[in-house]
């Protein structure tokens, strides 16, 4: 399976609002397999299609790092329908290689999506999975984890983000 290139901040595709997918599209299966392989290779727990340059509403999540096949979650056209509570915990993103910071999130989230089998479902979770759900649906809406940083954390990261912008401008 090919490992896809994960787009790095500030690639404009990361700020794009992704378009709905047709769950019956037969090409989605192979793409989903590639997304999982790419995510595992990068040791991430979630990956959105626009992180590999495709602005479509598709994301994958596995908080077990591939250890539990049952934990593989495919989200087509996902929407957050409820967020409860608030937590501030370390978070990173595969599109910001090497960066981590305390990020403000809902403690739990409920998401409605369609599975690869074409069936709609809802999932509600807290902890790492709850954060991953919010993080990946955000990606599909063009929102990034740095949008959720408390001010002090934004200040800490601002130098690194400027450097990433400069490096991208040079490339």
Residues in the site for Zn ion, rule: CB under 5 A?
93
43/39 Cα distance (integer angstroms): 6
Tell me the torsion sign for CA atoms 153, 138, 165, 37: positive
Position closest to Zn ion via CB: 93
19/164 Cα distance (integer angstroms): 27
Measured from the CB of residue 9, what is the shortest distance to Zn ion in angstroms? 9
Of 43, 90, 91, 136, catalytic:
136
Active site residue 124: no
Distance of CA 41 to the CA centre of its chain: 15
Measured from the CB of residue 94, what is the shortest distance to Zn ion in angstroms? 6
Q: Which is nearer to Zn ion, 21 or 137 (CB)?
A: 137
Q: Which is nearer to Zn ion, 28 or 91 (CB)?
A: 91
75/170 Cα distance (integer angstroms): 35
Q: Which is nearer to Zn ion, 23 or 46 (CB)?
A: 46
- Catalytic positions: 136
């Amino acid at each position: 399976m090919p490992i896809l290139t994960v787009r790095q901040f500030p690639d404009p595709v990361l700020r794009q609002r992704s378009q709905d997918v047709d769950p019956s599209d037969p090409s989605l299966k192979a793409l989903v397999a590639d997304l999982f392989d790419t995510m595992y290779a990068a040791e991430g727990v979630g990956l959105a299609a626009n992180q590999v340059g495709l602005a479509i509403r598709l994301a994958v999540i596995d908080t077990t790092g591939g250890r539990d096949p049952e934990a593989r979650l495919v989200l087509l056209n996902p929407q957050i329908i409820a967020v409860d509570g608030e937590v501030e915990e370390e978070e990173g993103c595969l599109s910001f290689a090497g960066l981590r910071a305390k990020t403000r999130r809902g403690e739990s989230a409920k998401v409605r999506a369609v599975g690869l089998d074409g069936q709609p479902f809802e999932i509600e979770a807290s902890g790492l999975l709850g954060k991953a759900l919010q993080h990946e649906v955000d990606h599909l809406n063009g929102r990034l984890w740095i949008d959720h940083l408390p001010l002090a954390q934004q200040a800490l990261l601002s130098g690194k983000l400027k450097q990433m912008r400069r490096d991208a401008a040079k490339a």
